[in-house]
């Protein structure tokens, strides 16, 4: 998809139902409507971005994905990222994450962290190509199905690391103790 055909914009509370529908489509253990509502309008650390793309049939802009992230002082925490199947592998998630990292840099953050299911090879590749490194494994972190999480970090935070060519996946390194989910 051409870069200028994806529109990234902050979410407002009236996007809740559409976001919740995408959440239920994309995850085996989706956040509840209440959790999403709290992130959209109740959490002072939370930021919510929407990605809109042209509908292949009508050409009108439709919601293709979203991204929830927190800015916790010096850290950007990636919380929840989803793109609907018809819009995948077209750079939508990449644009959402890059936009969030840019916001983090502008607000003085110097690192970014995330957790991801160890079986989620697509997401692991996405984050690796964005410049995240695998730091640790969190045993039985996820439910439904129970699964370990890979903890990934980008430090220092810099847009210059984006977007390396496909290739080597980096191996786990040291340990840290933070908490979250994408």
Ligand X SMILES: CC(C)(COP(=O)(O)OP(=O)(O)OC[C@H]1O[C@@H](n2cnc3c(N)ncnc32)[C@H](O)[C@@H]1OP(=O)(O)O)[C@@H](O)C(=O)NCCC(=O)NCCS
User: Would you say 28 or 108 has its CB closer to ligand X?
Assistant: 28
**Please, which residue, 26 or 44, has the CB nearer to ligand X?**
26
Q: Which segments of 84-146 are extended strands (E)? A: 111-117, 133-142
- Whole-number Å distance between alpha carbons of 152 and 118: 11
Q: Which residues bind ligand X (CB under 6 A)?
A: 26-27, 81-83, 88-94, 116, 120-123, 125-126, 129, 166, 182
C-beta closer to ligand X: residue 109 or 141: 141
In sequence order, what are the beta bridge partners of 50? Answer: 9, 66
Helix (H, G, I), strand (E, B) or coil at 5: helix
The answer to whether 81 and 97 have CB atoms below 8 angstroms apart is yes
Least separation in angstroms between CB 89 and ligand X: 4
**Which residue, 91 or 131, has its beta carbon nearer to ligand X?**
91
The C-alpha R_g of the chain, in whole angstroms, comes to: 16
Beta bridge partners of 21: none
């Amino acid at each position: 998809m051409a870069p200028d055909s994806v529109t990234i914009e902050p979410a407002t509370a009236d996007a809740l139902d559409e976001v919740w529908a995408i959440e239920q489509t994309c995850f085996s253990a989706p956040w509840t409507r209440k959790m999403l509502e709290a992130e959209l309008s109740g959490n002072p650390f939370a930021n919510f971005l929407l990605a809109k793309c042209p509908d292949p049939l009508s050409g009108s802009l439709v919601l293709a994905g979203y991204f929830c992230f927190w800015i916790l002082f010096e850290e950007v925490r990636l919380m929840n990222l989803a793109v609907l199947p018809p819009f995948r592998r077209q750079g939508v998630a990449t644009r959402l994450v890059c936009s969030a990292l840019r916001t983090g840099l502008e607000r003085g953050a110097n690192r970014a962290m995330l957790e991801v299911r160890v079986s989620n090879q697509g997401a692991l590749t996405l984050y690796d190509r964005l410049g995240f490194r695998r730091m640790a494994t969190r045993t039985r972190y996820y439910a439904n199905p129970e699964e370990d999480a890979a903890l990934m970090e980008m430090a220092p935070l810099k847009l210059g690391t984006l977007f390396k060519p496909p290739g080597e996946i980096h191996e786990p390194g040291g340990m840290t103790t933070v908490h979250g989910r994408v």
